[in-house]
Amino acid sequence: MKSNAIYSSLAPMGFITAGQLCMGSWRGYTVQLRPYNGQYYYLDVAVRVDKRDKSLSKNLRRRVKELSGKGLGCVNGGSHLSFVVSFNKKSPYQEQFENYMQAISSALRQEGISPADSCAVCGGGTPDSLCFYDSSYQPVHSACIRSSLEQARQDIEQNKLNGSYLTGFIGAFLGMIVGSLPSIFTIVVLEHIYAVLFALVPMVSAYGYRKFNGRMDKLSVVFVVLLSFVSVIVMQFVSTVILLMGELPMDAGEALALSAQLLLNLEGLMLIITSSGSLFLFMLLGIFIAWRSVIQTNSGSLKNLEGLGSTLRPNPAYSPESDSNSYYASESTSE
């Protein structure tokens, strides 16, 4: 609720709200607010810097502190810098926002960093528009956004026509095996199951499904859940074999046979399932993570595309009626 009040206070400056995000242009800087950890916000500022430059965010933190007396966390995302800010009720939100931006833009100038002035999609100059792209609000060519949206739309259509449950299942199966390897490794070498590693299984499995041109609809989730379930049983089986070999004087073949005899029946399977609570818990965690990153149904992707396209706006830095507030204009008059 509070975020809405903050976001709407920026609306007079031409900022738009899209879901949890608020985005706009401030004196040539393309910026975005998004909630972070409850009472905080990330203030993302579009720039073009080296993502590997670890000292940059440290320097900027120090500069902002010198300039404003406020310590703002800073994360270097390469195409944007994310500053951690918070808002209080003591003064108008817009004023607080402007104060943050004043301090941040001065700090950026001191570090020799200018606002992003190349297209986030192709890297070319004179980006005529602004759009949400690849996790933040960015200067872009509207043509680049339109063609990448069109490409994504075609991919979805292609997947609807040609996506296959069979190849997807094979991919998900291979992914399940790859995702299980760390767990199998710890079972064999350390003789212990680390439940947290188990979250990898559905994630890699879902990735495999996608990479093998699996048809992206609700059934893809069923496959991933099913295979993850199977892998719980396989891992408990493997760890039983290892346990037997350690406890009893038998070789791998005998341990395998005994484990099969013990576990591969209804009672044995029930025992595995009831004793694997934590594994299932982490399996759910993995599915939850995969859901947000990998498992995206065609209809969900389409909705996302439409949302993305709806944030496309002209870039005020390059529009003919560019206001005197813009970074480029203010720099040319002050120097």
In this complex, which beta carbon is closest to Zn ion, that of residue 119 or of residue 131?
A: 119
Nearest CB to Zn ion, comparing residues 146 and 211? 146
Q: Which is nearer to Zn ion, 136 or 220 (CB)?
A: 136
124 binds Zn ion (CB under 5 A): yes
Which one of the spans 32-40, 53-61, 133-141, 159-167 is the region binding Zn ion (CB under 5 A)? 133-141
Residue 125 sits in the site that holds Zn ion (CB under 5 A): no
Task: Find the binding residues for Zn ion in span 198-227 (CB under 5 A).
Answer: none
Q: Which of 334, 332, 328, 221 is nearest to 283 (CA)?
A: 221
CA-CA-CA-CA torsion for 17, 22, 27, 30, nearest 10 degrees? -110
Among 27, 34, 63, 141, binds Zn ion (CB under 5 A): 141
- By the rule CB under 5 A, 116 interacts with Zn ion: no
- Residue type (1 letter), 162: N
Compute the least distance from the CB of residue 321 to Zn ion, in Å.
23
Least Å from the CB of residue 136 to Zn ion: 16
The one segment of 69-77, 128-136, 137-145, 259-267 that binds Zn ion by CB under 5 A? 137-145
Burial class (CB in 10 A: 0-12, 13-18, 19+), 277: exposed
> What part of residues 143-162 is at the interface with Zn ion (CB under 5 A)?
144
Binding to Zn ion by residue 121, rule CB under 5 A? yes
Pick one of 18, 67, 84, 122: the residue that binds Zn ion (CB under 5 A).
122
Nearer residue to Zn ion within complex by CB, 78 or 124:
124
Output 64 or 145, the one with its CB closest to Zn ion. 145
**Count of residues in contact with Zn ion, rule CB under 5 A:** 6
> Residue 14 or residue 124: which is nearer to Zn ion going by CB?
124
Q: Are 181 and 228 in contact (CB under 8 A)?
A: no
Min separation Cβ 130 and Zn ion, Å: 12
Which residues of this protein are in contact with Zn ion, per CB under 5 A? 119, 121-122, 124, 141, 144
